Structure 1
Amino acid sequence: MLALWCADWPAVAAAASEDLPPTEPVAVLSGNRVVACTGPARASGVVPGLRRRDAQGRCPRLHVRAADEGRDARVFEPVAAAVDAVVPGVEVLRPGLLVLAARGAARYFGSEEAAAERLVDEVAAVGVECQIGVADELSTAVVAARRGVLVPLGEGARFLAPLPVAELAAEPALAAPDRADLVDLLRRLGLRTVGDFAALTPAAVVSRFGTDAAAAHRSARAQPERPPSARALPPDLTVELRLDPPVDRVDAAAFAGRTLAERLHERLSAASVACTRLEVYASTGHGQSLSRIWRCAEPLTPDGTADRVRWQLDGWLTGRSEARPTAGIEMLRLDPVEVVAAGALQLGLWGGVGAEDERARRALVRVQGLLGGDAVRVGVLSGGRGPGERVTVVPLGDEKVPEADPAAPWPGRLPAPAPSAVLPVPLAVVLEDSSGRPVSVTDRGEFDCLPARLRWGQRTWDLLGCAGPWPVDERWWDPGSARRLIRAQVLLAPAAGEGGTRALLVRSDGSGWCVEGVYE
């Protein structure tokens, strides 16, 4: 196998999408921590795992971008297309990493070294740097690519033996989500290198560690990750969708891809299999054919399938590849290239892959089909100081990327609990003290008198209590966008004929008070 690896691809893709020069330091964050950074950022001391504030402290010129898997796949498509034009049969493990059979490339170009040099040149022609690794097995080739090594035939186990055991979890596309816990356990047991782990017998590994450990053990011994399967590919698993009229917009094509992913998994479930290698195929009105194979370490779920289809369509329709369609897509097809027994896929409590969630999702997808892609929107926890600011609403099926990082400090943020209902249009009210004087806020962010009553129109409620105020003073250095307001929580005494108390969230920007939310 030949593996082509682009280092720090999320950061490289973020820089390329904004046309930043290679000399600019760029870091990609997820959960307020650095997950990838470019070489100039590393030279300034930025490393994955740093918090945003620490990273910017080490490199004040750092360009910070949020993680976006769709962007990573879109920018990687020209790289995959360039390699596929030279050596057909490319399989994408994830954006930034692809593999192909090395034997045909070596025979065509004369040697593995010549094939590697040619592929590096082809990728460099699209403005991307990469490294090549060749080995007998896929996982070994990926490890070799991260070091730019061509492992001789039959020498995979010897190449892996001195490497740290953390290499078994270094590539998420080939490891289960909890592989890091296995690596930590092996270290505590004194198994520091891949060779130490490979020296254990398969029976000892399976009996003591579990299924994923068995897969990791096969990788440590440079054996195939999955043994050959005698299961014949069930017939009629391929699903196809004709698009009339042809689509040339990413949102419309992605919606069709979600529908097709649902159909595919219905057929897979009926055949009691799960897909690990998926071919996405599209044809256009001008007779152009596009295809790409995605390989996954774990069996694909419906959401995973829909994500890969959307990434691929986004890369074809909006990417910079020379194979970009010259007409709208008329036909979309999903073809499972490799399947495993359905027992490899974690089932929900009542059958199916999260059956309850899937039923709800299918119903929402049908609503989207009737009303349009933006008709169904879901909330994503975001960063902000007020309750309405802490929710970012995105269309169903899009990347759940918040507008602001929810893990940031956000001084002045309203403390928990949040109001159960946020009014779309704040309701103007008046806060008064016991003598009927309106309550205002001083320059220090404090009440000038104790609130005792709340008046709305002709109705008045006595207050049983008041919490706050919580001042917000944003962008004070920029008069054009500065914002200063005060929030407080008030508890209303029940009026005549009303049962129970009611709590409200009120705020003031200096021009008066209004109700922002209701606690129920």
Structure 2
Amino acid sequence: MSDGTIGDGAVSDGTISNSAVEDRPLRMLAVEIAHWSVTAAGIDPTTPAAVVFAGRVTAVTPAASAAGVMTGMRRRQAQSQCPAVEAIERDLDLDARRFAPVVAALEELTPRVEVLAPGCCVFGTRAPSRYYGGDEALAELVARTVTRALASDVLEVSLAGTPAAMPEIRVGIADGLFAAGLAARVAPGGVLVVPASASAGFLSQLSLHALTEPFSPLAGTAGPRGVGASSTAGEELVDVLKRLGLRTLGDVAALRSADLAGRFGTQGEWAHRLASGGDPRVSQPGVAAPDLCVDAEIDPPADRVDTVAFTAKSLADRLDADLARCGHALVCVQVSIETENSETSNRFWRHGFRFSPADVTDRVRWQLDGWRQDRNRPSGRISFIRLAVAQTVPDEGRQLGFWGGQTETDERAERALGRVQTLVGFDGVTVGRLGSGRRFADLEQRLPFGTAGASNPAGSPASPTSPASPMPPWPGRLGAPVPALVLFEPELLVVLDADGEPVGVSGRGEASAPPAELRRANGRISRITAWAGPWLLDERWWVRGARRRQARFQLVLDDGTAHLCAVEGGRWQREATYD
């Protein structure tokens, strides 16, 4: 270990008593690189581009930001805001691989660096702060260390041939992971240190939307993993709180915890504790749980990442089952990998909510990819892997169906899908879920297998148009028949009248002329033999930046096919096809 490394960080920061956690959260440092996916993808900052994950924008270039594209927007909304924006699918493996040199640089300062997601990591400051001369000195040192790592190991690779623009580096220190993460988000000049015991006052002025940030466990109760992932459950809670008249975290903290728990259950209790500057759940040190680690020899040694990932998935399943039997949920895990030449890689990974076996498997793959790209890359094949529990929280459990839990067939199917997911990636296996809304595209949601809420509850209606459907009414939604195919991304069209002029729709919902011809992007031209509409749709006009105005048509073409098309922002698009 180098002279500048702190040796007691893992012990002093990782094994504290429950009573200490109850009194005051652990002092934490959070460092985040703004719009990391853009940097990792090597996108020119002067190009208007947005990185998209699960249909939403998670990172933007400065040029796209100047054009009005913001994180959290849907892909179509971003394209309508800036037609020239280039939408790029997020590659989590690439993000993690490019972030590995930054983590390695921080591990020279303290060994207990915990990666929350690619582009973001945290660690306890108790020992490092004493060693480096206080919180302010530590925060400045971390910012300089990340800057040097980006300049020497990341930007020269990701921006080959392009002038490197240093991304914004944010560092925050506060009591608890939630407050530290938000301090980094709002840090003036990139660094903000919240004084000890002052987190509640700092949080009180922040918006309710802070509850959906990746540093909040409410952001992990639904949706894909990682920074920038959607959090349906957290967004729904925030929406209800805003409609009740609450605007800031201080308003939530002023309420009685029992009232929030009685109305919203566990989520309400967590929201109150977060807003009050506390930890939502009582943390358990690793020594409190039995069977702290699982390991496996890989014989013969493996040189393929998917082989190691398959072994890691089996270990993660065992670890998850062992912790579930004793009522624990894993939130921090240490992954140790060893080669046949006795070379080792050790890293801590943290989750904002709880790890699933698929999450742990992804972290193993990311760590191995980053290690192989490192300057000190291994020279041999992988021969050993260990997963060790670093921190757990009490397991909240899950609600079983009225007629019992899962069947043996369900469990076999889940194991099989989990193995396929290990081979093809987390997003390679998706599950349909019935949604709600006025548009047919809102009724079907595709979520990665293993995501919370990815399966429909028992008793869900088979059809959204069923008269027995328990969903609330949606005025303005088209009735039967339901399209047989709903496009994930609408197809842009050109619709002309009999004189060859584009067909438009007035503000009163009147078509400028009967549609007569449809032209596709590939040059194919079809004649429109019958049509109906327009049916106007004007929704979420009360939310700035989320309003949608559409005029929908049903068009029958000369080849006998029928389509649902819409005019939005002056552009025609095909959204669905009827059988």
Query: When the two structures are superposed, what TM-score results if normalisation uses the length of structure 2?
Result: 0.61
Distance 1:367 1:26 in 2: 32
Match of 1:390 in 2: none
Match of 1:263 in 2: 318
Aligned counterpart in structure 2 of residue 159 of structure 1, from 190, 197, 202: 202
Residue by residue over 1:319-360, the C-alpha shift from the partner in whole angstroms, topping out at 9 and shown as x without a partner, is: 4x3453332221111112223344x14265488889754422
SS in 1 for 2:559: strand
SS in 2 for 1:86: coil
Distance 1:353 1:291 in 2: 36
Match of 2:130 in 1: 107
Select between 179-188 and 267-276 the one with higher mean Cα deviation: 267-276
CA drift of 1:51 comes to: 4.5
2:398 maps to 1:346:
yes
Whether the aligned pair in 1 keeps the contact of 2:105 and 2:146 (CA below 8 Å) is yes
Match of 1:282 in 2: 337
Distance 1:252 1:98 in 2: 27
Match of 2:88 in 1: 65
Instruction: Give the 3 Å change call, closer, same or farther, for CA 406–98 of structure 1 in structure 2.
Output: farther
Whether the aligned pair in 1 keeps the contact of 2:204 and 2:250 (CA below 8 Å) is yes
Q: Which amino acid aligns with 2:31?
A: L
Match of 2:559 in 1: 468
2:20 maps to 1:5:
no
SS in 2 for 1:195: helix
Match of 2:538 in 1: none
CA drift of 1:368 comes to: 11
SS in 2 for 1:126: helix
Aligned counterpart in structure 1 of residue 112 of structure 2, from 89, 94, 119: 89
In the TM superposition, what are the counterparts of 1:100-499 in structure 2 within 5 Å? 100-127=123-150, 129-148=168-187, 149-171=192-214, 174-175=217-218, 176-177=221-222, 178-229=233-284, 233-317=288-372, 319=373, 321-342=374-395, 344-346=396-398, 349=401, 356-363=409-416, 407-410=488-491, 468-469=559-560
Q: Which amino acid aligns with 2:195?
A: P
Distance 2:29 2:103 in 1: 13
Q: Which amino acid aligns with 1:131?
A: R
Distance 2:429 2:214 in 1: 31
Q: Which amino acid aligns with 2:490?
A: P
Q: Which amino acid aligns with 1:82?
A: A
SS in 1 for 2:281: coil
SS in 1 for 2:349: strand
Match of 2:503 in 1: none
How many residues align? The count is: 397
- Uncovered stretches (5+) of structure 1, i.e. residues with no partner: 383-395, 398-404, 413-442, 447-465, 473-486, 490-520
Distance 1:366 1:165 in 2: 39
Distance 2:431 2:562 in 1: 22
CA drift of 1:142 comes to: 0.6
CA drift of 1:366 comes to: 7.5
Q: Which amino acid aligns with 1:330?
A: S
Instruction: Give the 3 Å change call, closer, same or farther, for CA 246–144 of structure 1 in structure 2.
Output: same
Q: Which amino acid aligns with 2:202?
A: F
Residue by residue over 1:45-102, the C-alpha shift from the partner in whole angstroms, topping out at 9 and shown as x without a partner, is: 2212445455346546533211233332222222212111222201112222211111
Q: Which amino acid aligns with 1:10?
A: S
Distance 2:302 2:56 in 1: 38
- Uncovered stretches (5+) of structure 2, i.e. residues with no partner: 1-27, 151-166, 223-232, 433-448, 451-485, 494-523, 528-556, 564-576
Instruction: Give the 3 Å change call, closer, same or farther, for CA 338–29 of structure 1 in structure 2.
Output: same
Rg comparison, structure with higher value: 1
2:94 maps to 1:39:
no
Whether the aligned pair in 2 keeps the contact of 1:29 and 1:64 (CA below 8 Å) is yes
Over the matched positions of the two proteins, sequence identity in percent amounts to 38
CA drift of 1:213 comes to: 1.6
Q: Which amino acid aligns with 1:293?
A: F
Instruction: Give the 3 Å change call, closer, same or farther, for CA 357–312 of structure 1 in structure 2.
Output: farther
Distance 1:56 1:116 in 2: 38
CA drift of 1:380 comes to: 5.8
Query: When the two structures are superposed, what TM-score results if normalisation uses the length of structure 1?
Result: 0.67
Q: Which amino acid aligns with 1:67?
A: R
Whether the aligned pair in 1 keeps the contact of 2:283 and 2:393 (CA below 8 Å) is no
Whether the aligned pair in 2 keeps the contact of 1:348 and 1:355 (CA below 8 Å) is no
Instruction: Give the 3 Å change call, closer, same or farther, for CA 86–63 of structure 1 in structure 2.
Output: farther
Match of 1:55 in 2: 78
Whether the aligned pair in 2 keeps the contact of 1:469 and 1:488 (CA below 8 Å) is no
Distance 1:270 1:229 in 2: 15
Provide the aligned C-alpha RMSD in A.
Answer: 3.7
Select between 264-273 and 355-364 the one with higher mean Cα deviation: 355-364
Whether the aligned pair in 2 keeps the contact of 1:134 and 1:144 (CA below 8 Å) is yes
CA drift of 1:2 comes to: 0.7
CA drift of 1:131 comes to: 0.8
Distance 1:488 1:216 in 2: 44
Distance 2:59 2:355 in 1: 25
Whether the aligned pair in 1 keeps the contact of 2:143 and 2:169 (CA below 8 Å) is yes
CA drift of 1:28 comes to: 1.1
SS in 2 for 1:324: coil
Q: Which amino acid aligns with 2:559?
A: G
Distance 1:337 1:33 in 2: 32
Whether the aligned pair in 1 keeps the contact of 2:421 and 2:429 (CA below 8 Å) is no
CA drift of 1:467 comes to: 9.3
Aligned counterpart in structure 2 of residue 26 of structure 1, from 49, 55, 79: 49
Whether the aligned pair in 1 keeps the contact of 2:285 and 2:392 (CA below 8 Å) is no
Instruction: Give the 3 Å change call, closer, same or farther, for CA 355–140 of structure 1 in structure 2.
Output: farther
Distance 1:353 1:123 in 2: 46
